[in-house]
Amino acid sequence: MLTIIGALALGFILGRQGWLGKAGVWVGQACTAGVVLLLFLIGAKIGSDAEITQALGTLGLEAALYAVTAIVGSLLAVKILERFLADRLEKGEGG
């Protein structure tokens, strides 16, 4: 957790000060490659986990339903929040 903040902060400072020079531009592209690799590794981790694949048969469908309702619920709540914030900002009560 601290290392994540550290990496983000280090990158932020280097980027802001322009100390990376032209390398800073490459970083955007390297980031895409990193995300693709990251997604593959996450997939492989889930796919190769015997504990997960064994439980899938019995509890898979039920678990998927909980995942879907959690996501839908969180999306609804954030949309409601967004509307609330927009209303307040329009009325000039923000702050």
Partner 1 sequence: MIGLILLPLALGLMAGYLGLIPDGYSLRAEELISGVLLFVVFAVGVDLGRRKEAMRELVLLGPRAFLVPLSVAIGSVAGTALAGLALGLRWNEGAAIGAGFGWYSLSGVLITELHSVRLGTLAFLSNVFREALSIVVLPWVYRYLGKLAAVAPGGATTMDVTLPIVAKVAGKEVVLVAFASGFVLTLLVPVLVPLLIGIGS
Note whether 56 binds partner 1 by CB under 8 A. yes
- Annotate each residue in 1-40 with x if it binds partner 1 (CB under 8 A) or - if it does not, as one string: x-xx--xxxxxxxxxxxx-x---x--xx-xxx-xxxxxxx
Note whether 47 binds partner 1 by CB under 8 A. yes
- DSSP per-residue codes, 43-76: HHHHHT-HHHHHHHHHHHHHHHHHHHHHHHHHHH
Note whether 80 binds partner 1 by CB under 8 A. yes
With CB under 8 A, what is the number of residues at the site for partner 1? 68
Amino acid at 5: I
Note whether 46 binds partner 1 by CB under 8 A. yes
- Tokens representing 52 are 């997960």
Q: Which residue has the tokens 């923000």?
A: 94
